[in-house]
């Protein structure tokens, strides 16, 4: 279970039992900070906490504000400045600033001031249910604004519908559209959204927080690279499934801790699995023993919802596989989805190093990073050359020869 799911459970259990608590969320950072936007800490009336927003004196300030919020039931924003001069007496100086929104959670029926957001668990139970069903959800929270906007009001947005109101119809519409745009987009992070009226004037600000199902990793091929790859991916909280057509390799002795191990073919068996189980949060890495397995696997994967398809192999092997598929009529834009050779450019050599390079690329895609992928140069080359594959045979042979020379780093004269 992820930290987010655990915190949602704590909120739900507390409110269901008639208790109150405060939820502190990092909604904005500048410079270097100990935690990222979206980090949470729960504070109970007895002072106990779950989660962290970074520790140190800044967290202590938030803790004190949270106890007041539990008592008043009125949300509060706390500004934490970590830019003071660093010396041996200073504590938790990171060089940046954080803005933390602290809001109450309390049961229905508990009295509160007029204009305060309605009580409840803040859709914690609904979000938890969505995650269990592998459905994304966005929680929109008003963090700044004047009436009729209600600071602390929530709206829960899923791809199909929304529930709740921020207090102004125009704000509801604006926030709902902003949330839906990013719900199924890999690499999107929580963000602040400016709330505007019909005439375009600013009315306030909302924090749009994304709750996404756990990321899955489907490893196709259970050879020597798959073992460290599965291990590193699990450390990164991926739910890992290993797939191979050889029981001697795909078994629990080699992969004792992964979510699932499957012994099945790379053609129809895999195609059936992809249609049922591969969604917008399923990443796929091909580390098979050869192109005889890569080709049918890619046939099943290229039209899927997977946000990432990586394939190991030399540049020549990669080109051979893509050319075969293109010759079958697979559109170039689908082939260009493949990250091949797979991984970040870190000069990895050993299986463990290759696993780190691959997982680094997974995090890059998951978080919207900018590190250089090994596939960038070859994908650019494929994009320039793919149009020639429909040329007459003699020109096609000439083009293929040129491509293979490029991939091998050879430059022809003239």
pLDDT digits (tens, 9 = 90+) for 180-220: 998 877 777 899 999 976 566 778 999 999 999 999 999 99
pLDDT of residue 413: 31
- Which is more confidently placed, 5 or 300? 300
Is it the case that residue 59 has pLDDT exceeding 90? Answer: no
Longest dimension (CA), the chain: 84
CB 203 within 8 A of CB 168: yes
Residues in the chain, overall count: 414
Tokens, residue 171: 């704000």
Task: Please choose, from the candidates 137, 145, 197, 182, the residue with its C-alpha nearest in 3D space to the C-alpha of residue 164.
Answer: 137
The closest alpha carbon to 221, from 306, 332, 310, belongs to: 310
d(CA 27, CA 78): 10
Q: DSSP label at 95?
A: S
pLDDT tens by residue, 373-404: 999 877 777 677 665 444 334 434 444 545 44
**How far from 119 is each of 75, 84, 109, 113, 277, CA to CA, in Å?**
12, 38, 8, 11, 37
* Token pair listed for 368: 């919207």
104 is written with which tokens? 């109450």
pLDDT at 77: 95
Mean pLDDT, residues 118-136 taken together: 89
Residue 310 has pLDDT above 60, yes or no: yes
Least confident of 62-66, 79-83, 160-164: 79-83
Residue 78, pLDDT > 90, answer yes
**At residue 186, what are phi and psi to the nearest 5 degrees?**
-70, 140
Q: Spell out the SS3 assignment of 366-411.
A: HHCCCCCECHHHHHHHHHHHHHHHHCCHHHHHHHHHHHHHHHCCCC
- Rounded to the nearest 5 percent, the helix, strand and coil shares of the chain are 35, 25, 40
Strand partners, 76: 102
Report pLDDT digits (tens) over 131-178.
999 999 999 999 999 888 889 999 999 999 999 999 889 899 999 999
How many other β-carbons are positioned within 10 Å of the β-carbon of residue 96? 15
Model confidence, pTM = 0.83
47 with 22: CB under 8 angstroms?
Answer: no
For the chain, what is the mean pLDDT?
86
Token pair for 311: 């394939």
Q: Which residues of 190-206 are buried (b: 16+ CB within 10 A; e: fewer)?
A: bbebebeeeeeeebbbb
Sheet with 76-81: list strands edge to edge: 49-51, 40-43, 21-30, 97-105, 76-81
* pLDDT value of position 153: 93
Res 404: pLDDT: 47
What does the alpha-carbon distance between residue 172 and residue 175 come to, in Å, rounded to a whole number? 5
Which residue ranges form the domains of the chain, and what is each CATH number? 1-108 (no CATH), 123-213 (no CATH), 216-407 (3.40.50.720)
Strand-strand pairing, 239-244 and 162-164: unpaired
Task: Using a pLDDT cut of 90, give the percent of the chain over it.
Answer: 61
Angle between helices 124-132 and 3-16 (to 10 degrees): 140
Instruction: Kindly state the average pLDDT of the residues 335-347.
Output: 93
Judged by average pLDDT, the poorest of 95-109, 245-259, 349-363 is: 95-109
Q: How far is CA 136 from the centre of its chain?
A: 11
pLDDT given for residue 200 in this prediction: 65
Pick 40 or 399 by higher pLDDT. Answer: 40
């Amino acid at each position: 279970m992820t930290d987010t799911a655990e915190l949602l459970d704590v909120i739900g259990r507390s409110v269901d039992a008639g208790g109150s608590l405060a939820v502190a969320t990092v909604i904005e950072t500048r410079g270097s900070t100990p935690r990222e936007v979206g980090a949470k800490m729960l504070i109970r009336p007895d002072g106990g906490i779950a989660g962290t927003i970074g520790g140190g004196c800044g967290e202590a300030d938030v803790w004190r504000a949270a106890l007041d919020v539990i008592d008043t039931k009125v949300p509060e924003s706390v500004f934490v400045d970590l830019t003071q001069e660093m010396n041996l007496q200073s504590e938790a100086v990171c060089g940046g600033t954080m803005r933390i929104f602290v809001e109450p959670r309390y049961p229905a029926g508990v009295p509160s001031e007029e204009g305060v957001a309605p009580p409840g668990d803040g859709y914690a139970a609904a979000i938890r249910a969505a995650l269990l069903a592998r459905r994304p959800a966005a929680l929109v929270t008003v963090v700044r604004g004047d009436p009729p906007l209600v600071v602390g009001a929530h709206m829960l947005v899923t791809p199909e519908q929304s529930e709740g109101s921020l207090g102004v119809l125009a704000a509801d519409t604006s926030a709902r559209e902003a949330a839906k745009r990013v719900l199924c987009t890999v690499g999107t992070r929580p963000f602040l959204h400016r709330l505007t009226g019909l005439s375009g004037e600013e009315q306030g600000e909302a924090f749009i927080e994304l709750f996404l199902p756990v990321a899955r990793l489907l490893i196709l091929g259970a050879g020597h690279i798959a073992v460290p790859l599965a291990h590193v991916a699990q450390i990164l909280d991926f739910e890992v499934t290993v797939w191979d057509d050889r029981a001697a390799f795909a078994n629990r002795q080699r992969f004792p801790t992964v979510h699932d191990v499957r012994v099945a073919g790379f053609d129809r068996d895999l195609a059936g699995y992809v249609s049922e189980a591969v969604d917008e949060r399923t990443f796929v890495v091909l580390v098979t023993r050869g192109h005889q397995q890569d080709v049918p696997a890619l046939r099943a994967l290229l039209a899927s919802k997977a946000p990432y398809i990586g394939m190991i192999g030399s540049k020549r092997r990669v080109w051979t596989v893509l050319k075969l598929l293109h010759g079958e009529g697979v559109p170039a834009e689908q082939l260009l989805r493949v990250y091949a050779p797979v991984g970040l450019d870190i000069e990895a050599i050993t299986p463990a190093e290759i696993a780190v390079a691959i997982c680094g690329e997974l995090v890059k895609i998951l978080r919207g990073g900018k590190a250089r992928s090994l596939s960038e140069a070859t994908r650019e080359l494929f994009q320039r050359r793919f149009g020639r594959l429909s040329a007459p045979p003699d020109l096609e042979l000439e083009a293929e020869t040129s491509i293979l020379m490029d991939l091998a780093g050879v430059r022809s004269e003239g």
